[in-house]
Amino acid sequence: MVQAQFGVNPPVNRLQGTLPKVGIRPVIDGRRQGVRESMEAATMQMAQSVARFISENLRHACGLPVECVIADTCIGGIAEAAACEAKFEREGVGVSLTVARSWCYGYETMDMHPTRPKAVWGFNGTERPGAVYLAAVMAAHANKKLPAFSIYGRDVQDATDFTIPPDVAERILQFVKCGLAVATMQGKTYVSMGNVSMGIVGSLVNQDFLQHYLGMRTMTIDMVEFVRRMERRIYDPEEYERALQWVKTYCKEGKDYNPPDKQLSREQKERTWQQSVQMALIARDLLVGNPKLAEMCHEEEALGFNGIAGGFQGQRQWTDHLPNGDFMEAILCSSFDWNGIRQPYILATENDYLNAVCMLFGHLLTGAAQIFADVRTYWSPDAVQRVTGWRPTGLAEGGFLHLINSGPAALDGTGQQEQDGKPAMKPWWQVTPDEARRCLEATTWHCAMLEYFRGGGWSTRFRTRGGMPATMFRLNLVEGIGPVMQIAEGETIELPNEVHTVLDERTNPTWPTTWFVPRTTGHGAFRDVYTVMAHWGANHCVLSSGHIGSALITLCSMLRIPVAMHNVPSEQIFRPHQWGMFGTADLESADFRACTIYGPLYGTI
């Protein structure tokens, strides 16, 4: 029964346009009559080895394998560089990696594409000076205002060694993964369902930011479109009935915390379930379309808006009259539903597009679902002891953060999936039917608190398992600076059941809870847990499984988004080589200066 209800869907690209490919550029010393000829086969073999390594180790977030395109010939000068570029344009290359085993002609062979993320691996060998070319071409990239990543192995290799050293492999995978995220976002849509929610500036969608920094367009939809499609039944009726039955089977109702005299009748609750399921179908169709609608003579609606991410305003105009978006957001953001295990969608509550972008970043880097949460409370050890009689110990001895929100905390956030023996939110294609079932069993659905949501709805309640390495992050838009990222790596924790209950029920008990401890350093914004909370830039955050801070820093540098605070060890930071020209003693300040000078990836605001 579990297998039948939670089959794993094959990977598919559900958006318009082809998936970006990785271009491999083998460059070579162009001098004939001995020099080039002696290196031709080895250089092309290096390119083929890298291409094979990338394809064997990376997938797109949709689960499909990453394809590599190699230049037809080694690149010894401008003509061959132009021929390579023409091939890359035909093949849809979105990221380029240049490989060199010898000296080559710097800016004659470099990738000159204005926006494509680019890196160069200079072979660390003594027979031919690949490192000399690497240094020369990095200087050319600085001079031409075309940032590029420098990859150079720590240990010298022999000329006959075609293995990829572990340190080089790590850099290549991080660069390519982040570069593909950049290329994947370009040309896609943020679907704004509604407008500003409760004065939250994160839902004041800045279309210029999305266009100039991410290469995305924006589609704005009035929430009355949901009413139109619900009343006119512009959704797949067969899928609706199947989804509703699945919900009745797997979505357990929990306690109704509303006062008895305010509670909805059973009939009213059933109606809100029906409307909540309809909303989920409609939001998904708005994002990516649905061919079934064309069969129902709704050809325009069948197309969708090529939405790679979206947000739903909800509060208050919608939720004062109709069910909230909690079910819609939670189930779409999860890696499974009535159709089985599939790629999560990105849908932010309260139309907080800046958190939606963070969810998108996290998903593109991991292939996994994300948790959207309020950064609700810092609980100090003294406060915990005063309220519960229990003093935190171990990882929690310095206090912890309470992350909680009514909306799109994916059910994967229960931590009922495992990776390397620890709780995790796994890449969706690795989620098993049994893990999907356990996530549902760990979740209860509660009638929305009517004092907040007068139209009712269904909110999730679960507690994230402790021991999951995780990264909390948030993008803020600051007047005079632009976008700024904040990152805090840490770990989820378990509290004793009675302590959790006391603390959790001091706030809205119908929402999912994650107890999180950021890794502190004893100085700056990470002096202690309280200081992290005090420096956080907004009311919302995203929590991604695993320590992905280094990848987020790399991705942000590609997009020219500075990082204002992070606790990533300095040896893990990987930014374009040219960032070092802006200073090396204070990397945070250098990052701000570099991002200011280079400006948004796709133009200035």
SS (H, E, C) 457-468: CEEEECECCCCC
Q: Rounded to an integer, what distance in angstroms lies between the CA atom of residue 152 and that of residue 149?
A: 10
Give the number of residues written for the chain.
605
Q: Cβ distance 174 to 167 under 8 Å?
A: no
Known active-site residue 350: yes
Q: Which of 337, 350, 412, 504 is catalytic?
A: 350
Using DSSP's 3-state secondary structure scheme, residue 450 falls into coil
The secondary structure element, H or E, covering residue 347 is strand 347-349
Known active-site residue 29: no
Q: Which of 374, 489, 494, 591 is catalytic?
A: 374
Question: What does DSSP say about strands 458-461 and 307-312: parallel, antiparallel, or unpaired?
Answer: unpaired
Q: Rounded to an integer, what distance in angstroms lies between the CA atom of residue 54 and that of residue 67?
A: 8
Name the token pair of 55. 């394809």
Q: Cβ distance 347 to 329 under 8 Å?
A: yes
Q: Give all strands (DSSP E) within 384-448, no chain letters.
A: 400-404, 417-419, 422-424, 444-447
Q: Rounded to an integer, what distance in angstroms lies between the CA atom of residue 590 and that of residue 569?
A: 16
Q: Cβ distance 524 to 565 under 8 Å?
A: yes
**Cα 134-135-139 angle, rounded to 5 deg:** 115
Which one-letter amino acid corresponds to residue 334? S
Q: Rounded to an integer, what distance in angstroms lies between the CA atom of residue 519 and that of residue 544?
A: 15
What is the DSSP secondary-structure string of 282-316? HHHHHHH--HHHHHTT-HHHHH---EEEEEE--TT
Catalytically annotated residues: 350, 374
